[in-house]
Amino acid sequence: MIKYVALPNPTINMTHIYSAAKIVDAAFATGYFNNHLNEIQCAWIVLDDDTVVGWAAVSDCMLRCVVVHPDYRGQGIGRTLTEKRLKYLGDCDSVISYAWVRPDGTCMSCKNLENFGFKLEKELDNYYNETRMKCKYCDTNCNCVARLYLKRKEDV
């Protein structure tokens, strides 16, 4: 059974956090989770029984990373995590999010953001170069593009 748990929560232990770090780093890049942990204002862990299958976070009117284990994609978990994050940031006049565009042009979160009314503001070349210890596609010199998305309250 899928369960969404907002942090902090006494039912979440360090094993859960470690598992979340592993799926985030596997999806993005080695060290991503730890590099951005201090920026997080609120986070959610998604559990299937006691197995971590997803993670999402927010900070200061910004949607941070969202990751769903590959075996659980297509089940609405990413959409539900985005709903929870937007509800948490409900007082923000606008919300931003960066979407990772892989070297092959795929963007896992672009459609999700657009479905929630986010508008593409601009693309940023080599955006992740200095923040990723090791990109899973580019190795140590990440050349991946970021798309900056914005959702204004007045646009809703």
Categorize the per-residue pLDDT at 131 as very low, low, confident or very high, splitting at 50, 70 and 90: low
Instruction: Return the pLDDT at 156.
Output: 54
Instruction: Return the pLDDT at 29.
Output: 66
User: When comparing pLDDT for 43 and 39, which is higher?
Assistant: 43
Nearest to 132 by CA among 24, 37, 30, 20: 30
Mean pLDDT of the chain: 87
Nearest to 89 by CA among 54, 55, 109, 62: 62
Share of the chain above pLDDT 70, in %: 89
Q: Looking at the predicted structure, is the pLDDT value of residue 135 above 90?
A: no
Is the separation of the CB atoms in 23 and 57 below 8 Å? Answer: no
Instruction: Return the pLDDT at 132.
Output: 61
Q: Which residues of 11-39 are buried (b: 16+ CB within 10 A; e: fewer)?
A: ebeeebbebbbebbbebbbeebbeebeee
Q: Whole-model pTM? A: 0.86
